[in-house]
């Protein structure tokens, strides 16, 4: 399969000379769900800003579906890769939720009824229909995040990047977000999260990429990465609670790559049943 | 004596049509560590603002009931009178950093209290040592990571020697390792300096083990108030947006299936200890 986004040996320094990325090479494939994790300042956001052409690498090449991103316009990239900022205020401009959500479609010159169809569907999907007329600044932080997400999703990009989407979200909002991301993933979207919320990332994403000090220090399926305690440590992350429990209990029946509470429950119940029958 | 006493507090913001806090009553004892949880928009931050006297003095609006902090009625004492005794740490440390070097930042509070030079110097040294940022002393706060910035913010409050520390989601912008550092720091302040702590948090993995009590505020009301191990076993918590740590979820489920755990573990280490013993 052809990668959707490729980074080939990219390095980047900010104008003040701070080196932010060093020799990053990676391929992100259509339909993947990936979490990019690491300490504050590891280079996560700097990396994904390259995927949408907001930053250009000092060295190396970014390709979107095999095309050098340098030769593409911002609008061309936006149709393929959508980006939701960590702070929704950076991307909300309009005086109503509905106008905000439609804004991204302006350059596409779509027929009116198509704009209407997409807007209604997105507002419905993100539980925002009742706020159509509301000013985005009158909404809660969590609701604003959903408006920002809607205004990107309406363009129907193939890949969606969300920067720290769980920040400031309570448990109910997080669960809804996880469901929504699952749905987008099943519909074939590539979902890329930038986050240091370990529990959320390992629950929602199949592939985990760990960055530290501008480099990728681990990249693999979540069940593999979740056992790498030292690597997680190096990136100022903690191991999720269930695999940490497995590591401490040291039972062959309870492997260190168990992540879900459901799985841990079943394993422990059968261990207790076994212990009782002995 | 209670450090904070809230009685029948109802508050409505000037632009709002519905109260943000509804008949809230709550006492916090001196030296207690209180964790405040609940959904976003439920009233947690509003409660913090009331304790600091920012409500009603800064925000306006309509306030019913009474808030007494260290025996001062917040209606009669403006935030400037409360501030030296009640310190506040915000979500985003950048919101409260003003100076060009860490040392100046930490000295800012005591300077404003008009303390003698020697005393300021002593307090700055002490606060910087307590939070463990000696090596950053001469740096600019803006060159630091958010975890380090949050430590600076805490040091700059500590140098005023407050009796109460209010923290509004102090770790939400910070990576997990630094978040553990910040929570342990707050725990030490509470234990070693007997500081009264009121902290709002969405992440309970680290904080629950240190709290004496958890209060759940949802839709402006106190819906639960009790010891962490009691409150965290309640089934209705997820409805109220409380992120029950995975280890607690697992323990609750095991209990539901008839496994007799002698207490509800709040940390992975404690859970491993209990389960390990039972499986031996």
- Range from A255-269, B18-32, B88-102 carrying the lowest mean pLDDT: B88-102
| Distance separating alpha carbons of residues A112 and B25, to the nearest angstrom | 54
Residues with Cβ within 8 Å of A20's Cβ and at least 6 positions away in sequence, in order, are A12, A13, A14, A43, A46, A214
Helices (H) and strands (E) in chain A — how many of each? 11, 10
Say yes or no: A129 contacts chain B, CB-CB below 8 A.
no
Answer whether residue B213 shows pLDDT above 80.
yes
Q: Considering only CA atoms, which of B142, B136, B104 is closest in space to residue A41?
A: B142
- Chain segment B109-130, per-residue pLDDT in tens: 999 999 999 999 999 999 999 9
Instruction: Return mean pLDDT, chain B.
Output: 93
* A contacts of B254 (beta carbons < 8 Å): 265, 268-269, 272
- Range from A94-98, B9-13, B118-122, B196-200 carrying the lowest mean pLDDT: A94-98
Quote the minimal CA–CA distance from A259 to chain B in Å. 10
What's CA A25's distance to the chain center, in Å? 18
Quote the crossing angle between the two packed helices B117-131 and B102-112, to the nearest 10°.
130
| Distance separating alpha carbons of residues B68 and B7, to the nearest angstrom | 9
Q: Low-confidence residues of chain A, pLDDT below 70?
A: none
- Chain segment A222-236, per-residue pLDDT in tens: 999 999 999 999 999
Quote the crossing angle between the two packed helices B146-158 and B176-192, to the nearest 10°.
20
| Distance separating alpha carbons of residues B173 and B104, to the nearest angstrom | 24
ipTM of the complex: 0.88
Residue A135, φ and ψ in degrees, nearest 5: -75, 130
Q: Which of the pair, A71 or B239, is modelled with greater confidence?
A: A71
In which band, very low, low, confident or very high, does the pLDDT at B70 lie, cut at 50, 70 and 90? very high
Residue of B16, B44, B182, B202 to mutate for A, most A C-beta atoms under 10 A: B202
Assigned token pair, B133: 């940022």
Q: Note the pLDDT of residue B23.
A: 97
What's CA A241's distance to the chain center, in Å? 21
Q: Note the pLDDT of residue B3.
A: 97
Quote the minimal CA–CA distance from A201 to chain B in Å. 13
Q: What angle do CA B174, A200, A156 make, to 5 degrees?
A: 105
Q: Which of B173, B175, B275 sits opposite A237 (nearest CB)?
A: B175
| Distance separating alpha carbons of residues B252 and B261, to the nearest angstrom | 9
Say yes or no: A265 contacts chain B, CB-CB below 8 A.
yes
| Distance separating alpha carbons of residues B23 and B7, to the nearest angstrom | 8
Chain A to chain B, count of Cβ pairs less than 8 Å apart? Answer: 114
| Distance separating alpha carbons of residues B203 and B82, to the nearest angstrom | 28
Give the gyration radius of chain A's Cα atoms: 20
Q: Which helix (H) or strand (E) holds A81?
A: strand A81-84
Do B212 and B227 contact (CB within 8 A), yes or no? Answer: yes
CB contact under 8 A, B147 and A40: yes
Helices (H) and strands (E) in chain B — how many of each? 10, 10
Say yes or no: A74 contacts chain B, CB-CB below 8 A.
no
| Distance separating alpha carbons of residues B104 and B120, to the nearest angstrom | 11
| Distance separating alpha carbons of residues B150 and B136, to the nearest angstrom | 13
Cis peptide bond prior to A77, omega within 30° of 0: no
- Range from A74-83, A93-102, B152-161, B249-258 carrying the lowest mean pLDDT: A93-102
Find tokens 């000379």 and name the residue. Answer: A17
Q: Which of A174, A240, A275 sits opposite B246 (nearest CB)?
A: A240
Quote the minimal CA–CA distance from B241 to chain A in Å. 4
Residues with Cβ within 8 Å of B156's Cβ and at least 6 positions away in sequence, in order, are B96, B97, B105, B106, B108, B109, B127
| Distance separating alpha carbons of residues A76 and A149, to the nearest angstrom | 19
* B contacts of A238 (beta carbons < 8 Å): 176-177, 180
Q: Which helix (H) or strand (E) holds B11?
A: strand B2-12
Residues with Cβ within 8 Å of A122's Cβ and at least 6 positions away in sequence, in order, are A101, A128, A150, A153, A154
Q: How many CB atoms lie within 10 A of CB A112?
A: 7
Q: Note the pLDDT of residue B137.
A: 87
Whole-model pTM: value is 0.90
Segment B52-55 long-range contacts (CB within 8 Å, at least 24 positions apart)? B52/B79, B52/B82, B52/B83, B52/B86, B52/B88, B52/B166, B53/B77, B53/B78, B53/B79, B53/B81, B53/B82, B54/B79, B55/B11
Do B251 and B278 contact (CB within 8 A), yes or no? Answer: no
């Amino acid at each position: 399969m052809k990668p959707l986004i490729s980074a080939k040996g990219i390095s980047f320094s900010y104008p003040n000379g701070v080196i932010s990325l060093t020799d990053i090479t990676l391929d992100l494939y259509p339909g993947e769900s990936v979490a990019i994790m690491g300490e504050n300042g590891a280079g996560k956001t700097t990396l994904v800003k390259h995927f949408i052409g907001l930053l250009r690498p000092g060295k190396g090449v970014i390709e979107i579906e095999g095309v050098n991103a340098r030769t593409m316009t911002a609008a061309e990239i936006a149709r393929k890769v959508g980006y939701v900022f960590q702070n929704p205020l950076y991307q909300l401009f309009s005086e109503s939720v509905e106008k905000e959500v439609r804004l991204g479609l302006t350059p596409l010159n779509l027929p009116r009824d198509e704009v209407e169809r997409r807007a209604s569907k997105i507002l419905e999907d993100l539980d925002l229909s009742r706020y159509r007329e509301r000013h985005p600044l009158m909404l809660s932080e969590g609701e604003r995040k959903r408006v920002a997400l809607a205004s990107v999703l309406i363009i129907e990009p193939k890949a969606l990047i969300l920067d720290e989407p769980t920040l400031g979200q309570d448990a109910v909002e997080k669960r809804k977000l996880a469901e929504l991301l699952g749905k987008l993933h099943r519909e074939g979207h590539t979902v890329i999260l930038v986050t240091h919320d370990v529990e959320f990332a390992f629950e929602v994403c199949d592939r985990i990429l760990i960055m530290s000090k501008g480099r990728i220090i681990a990249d693999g399926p979540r069940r593999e990465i979740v056992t790498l305690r030292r690597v997680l440590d190096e990136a100022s992350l903690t191991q999720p609670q269930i695999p940490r429990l497995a590591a401490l209990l040291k039972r062959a029946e309870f492997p260190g790559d168990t992540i879900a509470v459901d799985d841990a429950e079943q394993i422990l119940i059968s261990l207790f049943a076994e212990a009782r029958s002995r | 004596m209670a450090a904070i006493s809230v009685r029948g507090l109802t508050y409505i913001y000037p632009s709002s049509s519905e109260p943000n806090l509804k008949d809230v009553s709550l006492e916090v004892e001196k030296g207690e560590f209180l964790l405040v949880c609940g959904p976003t928009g439920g009233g947690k931050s509003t409660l913090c603002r009331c304790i600091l006297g920012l409500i009603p003095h800064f925000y306006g609006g309509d306030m019913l009931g009474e808030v007494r902090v260290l025996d001062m009625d917040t209606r009669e004492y403006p935030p400037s009178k409360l501030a030296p005794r009640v310190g506040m740490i915000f979500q985003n440390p950048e919101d409260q950093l003003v100076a060009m070097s860490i040392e100046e930042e930490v000295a800012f509070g005591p300077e404003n209290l008009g303390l003698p030079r020697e005393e300021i110097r002593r307090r700055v040294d002490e606060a910087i040592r307590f939070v463990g940022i000696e090596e950053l002393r001469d740096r600019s706060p803006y060159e630091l990571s958010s975890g380090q910035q949050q430590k600076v913010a805490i040091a700059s409050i500590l140098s005023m020697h407050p009796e109460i520390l209010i923290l509004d989601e102090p770790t939400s912008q910070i990576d997990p390792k630094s978040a553990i550092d910040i929570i342990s720091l707050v725990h030490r302040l509470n234990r070693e300096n007997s500081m009264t702590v009121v902290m709002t948090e969405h992440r309970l993995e680290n904080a629950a083990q240190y709290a004496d009590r958890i209060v759940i505020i949802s839709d402006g009301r106190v819906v639960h108030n009790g010891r962490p191990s009691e409150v965290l076993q309640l089934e209705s918590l997820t409805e109220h947006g409380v992120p029950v740590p995975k280890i607690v979820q697992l323990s609750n489920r095991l209990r539901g299936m008839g496994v007799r755990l002698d207490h509800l573990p709040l940390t992975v280490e404690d859970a491993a200890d209990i389960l390990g013993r039972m499986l031996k």
